[in-house]
Amino acid sequence: MLQQQTPPPATTPKGPPPPAARLARFLRRFVQRQPLGTVGAVIVGLLVLTALLAPLLAPYGPKQAEFDTYLPPGEGHLMGTDHLGRDILSRVIWGARLSLYVGLTSVALGITLGALWGMVTAYFGGWPDVLTQRLVDVLMGFPPIILALGLMAVLGQSVHNVIMALVILLTPTAARTMRSTVLGLKELAYVEAARAVGCSHWRVIFRHLVPNSLGTYIVLFTVNVAYAIVVEAALSFLGLGSPPDEPSWGGMLTAAMGSLERAPWIAFFPGLAISLVVFGLNLFGDAVRDVTDARLRGQMGGE
Amino acid sequence: MRRTQRALLGALLLVALLGGLPARAAEQPRYGGIVTWFDYADPARLDVHTESPLGVQQATAGVYSGLLQYDPENPSQIIADLAERWEASADGTVYTFHLRRGVQWHDGQPFSAADVQATFDRILAPDFRSPRCGSLLKPLVERVETVDDFTVRFHLKFPAATFIPSVASAWCRIAAKHILERDGNLQDPKSQIGTGPFRFKRYERGSLIEWERNPNYYDKRYPYVDGVVQYILKGAARQLAAAKAGKIMLWDTWPPMTRSQAEELKNARGDKIEIYVWPINTVWAVHLNTTRPPFDNPDLRLAVHLALNRQELFDKVFEGVGVPCAILDPKLYGDWALPMEEVKAMPGCRQPKTQDLEEAKRLVAKHYPNGLDIEVAVRSVGNYIDRVQLVVAQLRDIGIRGTIKTYESAAGYSVYGKGDFTVIGTQDTAMFLSDPSAPFAILFTSQAGRNWARHSDPLIDKLADEGLREQNRDKRREIYHRLQRHLLAGGNGTVIVGWVEGWFFRDKRLRNYHPANTVYDNNTFMKVWISK
């Protein structure tokens, strides 16, 4: 009887791990080597979740002013009520949505516009580069908060105008940073090679420069979200940001000014929220910079 | 003998005890020192004849004189100022004022009847916008006549009890003819040339206004102090901080402190200050622009009237003080005001609000089944931002979704004056006359200076005019009661929230200061002095 022999297992060549495994490995390494960044990421994650789930998480409407005023934190109102009888917890939760909306939208617009501006002018050089960089000099010459206040005074008080003011603030910084990155990149051999084989300018930009400057873009993005949230809070605190009944953390701080002695919790919780979120975003931003920075990548052991 | 000595000692003690207050009142006034107080906003424009904000009055009060004035030591009484005496004709339609001689303007020019004529020609000109003095006098005065260099005569349209109080109003100050001819108006600091006890010294926009003693003031006894500094302090937090730090000596003006702010201040300053509650003759209203949608529709105006929970607004903003819903404050106007029992029983004012809210929702849904979005204008001064948020929250309950648009003080007034708004979410109006006619003349008649709602109601105009002309007190009171009932029925563009009250303070070193019946009528500091 012919004994059936089990064929030896086929040896397949070892390929790259599936994307999920790669992501898991990246996250594992990120957690191991960037513990503070992980804390930041958790805080940012919580902020995003809070913002997305605000209607479900908030016990009351953020503008609902039908409770007793100055109730201390306790049962029914975990963070107390403010001077107009609104639930502070609900306003802090909805404030996360406003902060994230303002932060992400303004940074996405401002950094993207600035990055494209810096990239294109750096690549082509010549008089457009010189001219636009002088404009950047002018805009960067103004102290940011003064420029933002001036813009808000002209534009008027609304959430969308805050975003517009932030875009105008962020664009020059992003343009200048991206320009310096691209000035270095365009001298590299692979860019010269691409041009030598006849690639069009736009192909060089989008095929070679954009992917290779993505690290700079990501760092600009993460670092400036915190900045945008602080500027929005500052503008609202000064009475020139979001309309007063919008649940802005900065606006909540302003409203608390008159009752700091009597009801310190009105200022405490939005203040805590701003500090925590900015702390988290900065930790996260630093970690992202470390991961994307080629010079630091060896220390991180990144991909 | 010993009994006699004891009796004498007892009598002396009694006299000392009973005489404590008069002894203090008899304290000799002291010259020198600077009074410090504040303005809640930057006035920007300074023409007392054309502007209406309190800040304008405060900025210029000590610089000018009137024909008459409210006595700074007894503000209920009217005394002479540039007119040293006056008389009325038998029928009460002609008033003759005899002017003081030897008075000089701050630039050294002599004062005469020509200045009085120029002032009232300006104020009474039909096309001249004068929301304060003009509102008071235009309905009453037919013409002004110069009899000689120091005599002027006012011819009235009818005998009016409000004429002399109006002439004494701090808004009816006499301006120099040569300054009006030179500058065309009184808006700028350089135009602030008056005959008052103080000269206008300095105006730093957004920071301070300063007066200095006028050494040529016609009454050489006054003023006692060397000057007055008025800090421009925007926002309750800044005002309270200045008061706690002792930077200001007086808080007698709008906006009042709340109970908790007053307690905080008392804890900080202890017995160095005196704190008092005072109704400042000021009414809080919401103004609905009747010339544009949606409030050109009377149903929507009625809905707002019904929806506002005035009691809740006052409880939260003023911590329980104030008079919600009243068109006239009974505390200030006595029986001219409707009894509060009647007011509180009317739709819009009654509690609980359930029935009125249902009706308000129905009225809104009738025209806007999905509700409506509006912009709510507000000046960012005092505690208006807090108040407007509550108003907006209450209107949201009936389907009117408001977005708040804030304005800097002067810019807000400019927008209101042009009618470029849908709703003014909160605005106080201080009366400049302690007469029942005042709120109607200022807020409700077609020509009223603060009828920003541009609501024209022939019945209001008719009754307000009858109220001015009526000489019989009982009949006059009945006219004002009718007016109040008519307004409380709702539908007017100016929706009264109630009468403001609050806490104020005075540094105990500041002597001889007496709050007036309006916030405007004792701001000259002419007779105020500072003890050591």
Task: Give the percent of chain B with pLDDT over 90.
Answer: 79
Residue contact B260–A65, C-beta within 8 A: no
pLDDT attached to residue B382: 84
Q: In chain A, what are the domains?
A: 35-61+78-296 (1.10.3720.10)
Q: What is d(CA A296, CA A302) in angstroms, rounded to the nearest whole number?
A: 9
B289 and B423 Cβ atoms separated by less than 8 Å: yes
Question: Residue A150 CB: number of other CB atoms within 10 A?
Answer: 13
Q: What is d(CA B246, CA B224) in angstroms, rounded to the nearest whole number?
A: 21
Q: What is d(CA B140, CA B435) in angstroms, rounded to the nearest whole number?
A: 14
Tell me how far apart the 2 most distant CA atoms of chain A are, in Å. Answer: 98
DSSP string, B61-102: TTT--BSEEEETTEEEEEEESSEEEEEE-TTSSEEEEEEPSS
Q: What is d(CA B117, CA B125) in angstroms, rounded to the nearest whole number?
A: 12
pLDDT attached to residue B243: 95
- In terms of average pLDDT, the best of A147-161, A190-204, A229-243, B261-275 is B261-275
In the predicted structure, residue B20 carries a pLDDT above the cut 50: no
Going by pLDDT thresholds of 50, 70 and 90, the confidence category of residue A5 is: low
Residue contact A157–B390, C-beta within 8 A: no
Q: What is d(CA B163, CA B469) in angstroms, rounded to the nearest whole number?
A: 11
pLDDT digits (tens, 9 = 90+) for B441-487: 889 999 888 999 999 999 999 999 999 889 899 999 999 999 999 99
Provide the terminal-to-terminal Cα distance of chain A, rounded to the nearest Å. Answer: 55
Nearest CA to B203 out of B219, B216, B186, B224 is that of B186
Q: What is d(CA B326, CA B332) in angstroms, rounded to the nearest whole number?
A: 11
In the predicted structure, residue A301 carries a pLDDT above the cut 60: no
Q: Which residue has the higher pLDDT, A140 or A11?
A: A140
In the predicted structure, residue A258 carries a pLDDT above the cut 80: no
In the predicted structure, residue B15 carries a pLDDT above the cut 60: no
In the predicted structure, residue B3 carries a pLDDT above the cut 70: no
Q: What's the count of helices (H) and strands (E) in chain B, helices before strands? A: 19, 19
Q: Residue B127 phi/psi, 5° resolution?
A: -95, 10
Q: What is d(CA B473, CA B478) in angstroms, rounded to the nearest whole number?
A: 9
B490 and B297 Cβ atoms separated by less than 8 Å: no
pLDDT attached to residue B26: 66
pLDDT digits (tens, 9 = 90+) for A61-77: 999 998 999 999 998 89
Residue B502, classed as helix, strand or coil, is strand
Q: What is d(CA B186, CA B335) in angstroms, rounded to the nearest whole number?
A: 39
Nearest CA to B433 out of B298, B285, B283 is that of B283
pLDDT attached to residue A8: 58
Q: At B505, which helix (H) or strand (E)?
A: strand B494-507
pLDDT attached to residue B5: 52
pLDDT digits (tens, 9 = 90+) for B354-386: 999 999 999 999 999 999 999 999 998 888 999
In this complex, is the C-beta atom of B265 within 8 Å of any C-beta atom belonging to chain A? Answer: no
DSSP string, B443-455: IISTT-TT-TT--
What are the chain A neighbours of B390 within 8 Å (beta carbons)? 65, 84
In this complex, is the C-beta atom of A156 within 8 Å of any C-beta atom belonging to chain B? Answer: yes
Average pLDDT for B270-281: 91
Average pLDDT for B208-234: 96
Q: Which residue has the higher pLDDT, B77 or B23?
A: B77
Q: What is the CA radius of gyration of chain A?
A: 25
Q: What is d(CA A224, CA B391) in angstroms, rounded to the nearest whole number?
A: 36
pLDDT attached to residue A10: 55
Q: DSSP class of residue A77?
A: B
pLDDT attached to residue B504: 94
Cis ω on the peptide bond leading into residue B53 (within 30° of 0)?
no
Residue contact A63–B392, C-beta within 8 A: yes
Residue contact A244–B388, C-beta within 8 A: yes
pLDDT attached to residue A14: 65
Distance in Å, alpha carbon of B393 to nearest chain A alpha carbon: 7
B29 and B512 Cβ atoms separated by less than 8 Å: yes
In this complex, is the C-beta atom of B347 within 8 Å of any C-beta atom belonging to chain A? Answer: no
In this complex, is the C-beta atom of A68 within 8 Å of any C-beta atom belonging to chain B? Answer: no
Q: What is d(CA A153, CA A88) in angstroms, rounded to the nearest whole number?
A: 28
Mean pLDDT of chain B: 92
Average pLDDT for A257-265: 85
pLDDT digits (tens, 9 = 90+) for B143-192: 999 999 999 999 999 999 899 999 999 999 999 999 999 999 999 999 99
Average pLDDT for A169-180: 91
**ipTM metric:** 0.73
In the predicted structure, residue A16 carries a pLDDT above the cut 80: no
Minimum CA–CA partner of A260 in chain B: B237
Average pLDDT for A31-36: 87
pLDDT attached to residue A6: 58
Nearest CA to A37 out of A285, A215, A220 is that of A285
Residue contact B264–A262, C-beta within 8 A: yes
Average pLDDT for A229-249: 85
Q: What is the CA radius of gyration of chain B?
A: 24
Q: DSSP class of residue A36?
A: H
Q: Residue A81 phi/psi, 5° resolution?
A: -120, 160
Average pLDDT for B260-288: 92
Q: What is d(CA B176, CA B183) in angstroms, rounded to the nearest whole number?
A: 11
Residue contact B406–A243, C-beta within 8 A: yes
Give the range among B25-34, B209-218, B329-338 with minimum mean pLDDT: B25-34
Buried-exposed string B35-56: b where 16+ CB fall within 10 A, e elsewhere:
bbbbbbbbbbbbbbbbbbbbbb
Cis ω on the peptide bond leading into residue B223 (within 30° of 0)?
yes
How far from chain centre, in Å, is Cα B496? Answer: 16
In this complex, is the C-beta atom of B349 within 8 Å of any C-beta atom belonging to chain A? Answer: no
Residue contact A84–B386, C-beta within 8 A: yes
Q: Which residue has the higher pLDDT, A4 or A219?
A: A219
In the predicted structure, residue B403 carries a pLDDT above the cut 50: yes
Going by pLDDT thresholds of 50, 70 and 90, the confidence category of residue A9 is: low
- Give alpha helix (H) positions in B257-353: 259-269, 298-307, 310-317, 330-333, 340-344
pLDDT attached to residue A158: 82
Q: DSSP class of residue B441?
A: I
pLDDT attached to residue B524: 93
Residue contact A244–B403, C-beta within 8 A: no
Residue with tokens 């505390």, as numbered in its chain? B331
pLDDT digits (tens, 9 = 90+) for B105-143: 999 999 999 999 999 999 999 999 898 899 889 989 999
Buried-exposed string A82-95: b where 16+ CB fall within 10 A, e elsewhere:
bbbbbbbbbbbbbb
What are the chain A neighbours of B386 within 8 Å (beta carbons)? 83-84, 255
Average pLDDT for A148-155: 82
Residue contact B393–A64, C-beta within 8 A: yes
Window 365-404 of B: residues touching A by CB (8 A cutoff) are 380, 385-386, 388-390, 392-393, 396, 403-404
Q: At B43, which helix (H) or strand (E)?
A: none
B261 and B241 Cβ atoms separated by less than 8 Å: no
Residue B486, classed as helix, strand or coil, is helix
Q: Residue B179 phi/psi, 5° resolution?
A: -75, -40
Structure tokens at B306: 């019904």
Distances (CA, A) of B288 to A225, A287, B300, B347, B433: 41, 54, 9, 19, 25
A80 and A272 Cβ atoms separated by less than 8 Å: no
What lies within 8 Å, CB to CB, of B511 at 6+ separation is B27, B29, B528, B529, B530, B531
Name the pTM for this structure: 0.80
Going by pLDDT thresholds of 50, 70 and 90, the confidence category of residue A211 is: confident
